[in-house]
Amino acid sequence: MEEIPTAMTPLLPKLEKSKYHSLLSVVFGFLLTLTLTFFACAFLSLNKQKPKYILAKDSITVREADHLKIVNVSRMWYYQSKLMPSSENIVVQTPWLAPIVWDGTFQIAILNQQFRLQNVSIGLVVFATGKYVAFLKVFLQSAEMYFMEGHRVKYYIFTDQPVSMPSLKPSKGRQMVILETQGSAHPRNTYIYRMEAISYFSQGRFAKEVDYLVCAHVNIIFCNSVGVEILSSLFGTLHPLFFGLPRKSLAYERQPQSQAYISEDEGDFYYSGAFFGGKVLEVHRLTKFCYQAMRMDQADRIHVVRHDESYLNKYLLYNKPTKVLSPEYMWNRKLLNTHSFQGVLANGEMLVKVSKYPWTDAKQDFQRDLRLGHHHGKKSEKLVC
């Protein structure tokens, strides 16, 4: 056998390494070409597809992990929301950037979907004592039709006459809770106890059972949908009687010795005491302040003009609500015919948008709708209840 010269021996490993690197380069180039070809074909295929509307039955996965359940979100098709209000006369935001909710400024389908994903539950708190028990049946009937449709609701009814409760079976996903309380012949004591009871139960039962609380007067009638668009950490409702008035004309408490005192150079809006709410903890803080302030004024024999509403406005002045409901949620139909409101709504455009007509002057019309069978899914097409 012929011997290989020793001078050529170091060249063999280099030749083998060169062949090995050449093979790797060929394989890498082939894989790179294959990958680029795949993505190019996919891109061209997507470009050839025609755009389609996204229907509600389609869904996409928004979260997936080994330890989490897959959550599917229904796709929706809707018109793009406008950044500018439809009328120059409508203010849709407070100076502290809280939204002012007018009918038509929100997409209720989007909001419903978001709150259903959170699986929220809402407590509706109402006091029906003494002669006000007579309002309870219509209040609950209207709430069944129009309040938080499609969401979990608990009616918390404080009453001194539990045997007089109307025989009304709540719809699916809703529950009626009767909480017996003492009545009072003096309205002032009733208002104080209302704030005390809401504050007390917000620390315990309410906090364990619901996510949001909505506190309403029993003589309200829901005449059109009032849904999750109102929900926020803390919300108040603009009082229709004082809508658009200057600070000096608002019904704030002007006695300096009162705990509800607000000076004439202070104030944002005047809020109604008949409809407010928010997260349970925030409602607890509000009602606790009102209760303690009312007791202090009572001990000092100070009588405020507007009962608990004065204290609520004092609290909301220094603890700004994160959402403000427009006067639509508290319109009294008789107010729309007064000169002052015709002046505020001079062009008449806002009157068309009004969709929430509470208060008892609509009682007969609402009862007529019940007789005609305008229940869930069969609401009257009329904007005016």
Those residues whose C-beta lies under 8 Å from the C-beta of residue 290, and which sit 6 or more positions away, are: 195, 308, 311, 312, 315
User: Is the confidence at residue 368, as pLDDT, over 70?
Assistant: no
The domain spanning residue 124 has which CATH number? 3.90.550.10
pLDDT for res 328 = 87
Is residue 79 within 8 A of residue 107, CB to CB? The reply is no
Q: Is residue 302 part of a domain?
A: yes
Instruction: Report yes or no on 91 lying in a domain.
Output: no
Give me the catalytic one of 149, 229, 253, 309.
309
Q: How confident is the model at residue 59 (pLDDT cuts 50, 70, 90)?
A: very low
Higher model confidence: residue 130 or residue 384? 130
Highest average pLDDT, of 74-83, 204-213, 242-251, 364-373, comes from 204-213
Average pLDDT over residues 48-60: 37
- pLDDT at res. 312: 97
82 belongs to a structural domain: no
Does 309 qualify as catalytic in the annotation? yes
Best CA proximity match to 147, nearest among 128, 173, 167, 165: 173
The residue range of the domain holding 221 is 100-372
Which of 141-145, 180-184, 268-272 has the weakest average pLDDT? 180-184
Angle in degrees, CA 208, 330, 98, rounded to 5: 65
| 25 found inside a domain | no
Q: What is the pTM of this model?
A: 0.72
Please give the structure tokens belonging to residue 180. 């017996």
The answer as to whether 320 is a domain residue is yes
Distance separating alpha carbons of residues 233 and 251, to the nearest angstrom: 25
Region 342-364: what's the mean pLDDT?
A: 46
**Predicted local distance difference test score (pLDDT) of residue 185:** 55
Whether residue 5 has pLDDT greater than 60: no
pLDDT, position 88? 52
- Interval 110-117 mean pLDDT: 94
Distance (Å, whole) CA 100 – CA 214 = 17
Apex CA 360: angle with CA 355 and CA 364, to 5°?
90
- 295 within a domain of the structure (yes/no): yes
Long-range CB pairs of 136-140, under 8 A, 24+ apart, other chains included: 136/165, 136/166, 136/218, 137/166, 137/168, 138/221, 138/360, 138/363, 138/366, 138/367, 139/216, 139/218, 139/219, 139/220, 139/221, 140/166, 140/168, 140/176
Instruction: Give pLDDT, residue 375.
Output: 47
Q: What's the structural domain count of the chain?
A: 1
Q: Give me the pLDDT at residue 36, please.
A: 76
11 CB-near residues (< 8 Å, 6+ apart)? none
Tens digit of each residue's pLDDT (9 = 90 or more) over 190-245 = 889 999 999 999 999 999 999 999 999 998 888 889 999 999 999 999 998 888 88
Classify residue 36: in a domain, yes or no. no
> Please, which residues have CB within 8 angstroms of residue 281's CB and are 6 or more apart in sequence?
202, 207
| pLDDT band per the 50, 70, 90 thresholds, residue 63 | very low
Q: Between these two residues, 7 and 239, which has the higher pLDDT value? A: 239
Q: Is there a domain that residue 314 lies in? A: yes
